[in-house]
A and B are shown apart, each in its own frame.
Chain A
Amino acid sequence: MEDILEAQTYGVVAEFAHPNEVLAAAHKAREAGYTVMDAYSPVPVHGLDEALGRKRSILAWLVFAGGLTGTLTGFGMQYWMAHINYPWNVGGRPTISWPAFIPVTFELTILFAALTCVFGMFALNGLPRPHHPIFNTPNFDRSAIDHYFLCIEAKDPQFDEEKVTAFLKECGPEAVNTITDA
Chain B
Amino acid sequence: MKNLKKRFIMFSFVVLVLFTLTGCGGDGKITINVYNWGEYMDETLVDEFEEKYGINVNYEVYDTNEAMYQKIKPGGVNYDVAFPSDYMISKMIREDMLYEIDFNNVPNYKYIDDKFKYLEYDPNNQYSVPYMWGTVGILYNKTMVKEPVDSWNILWDEKYEKQIFMKDSQRETIGVALQKLGYSLNTRNLDELEEAKEELIKQKPLVLAYVVDELKDKMISGEAALAVTWAGDAAVIIESNPDLAYVVPREGSNFFVDGMVIPKTSKHKKEAEMFINFICEPEIAFKNTVHIGYSTPHMEAKKMLPEEVANNPVAYPGDDILEKCQVYKDLGDMVKVYDRIWTEVKAAK
| Same assembly | no
Q: Which residues of B contact A (CB under 8 A)?
A: none
Q: Which residues of A contact B (CB under 8 A)?
A: none
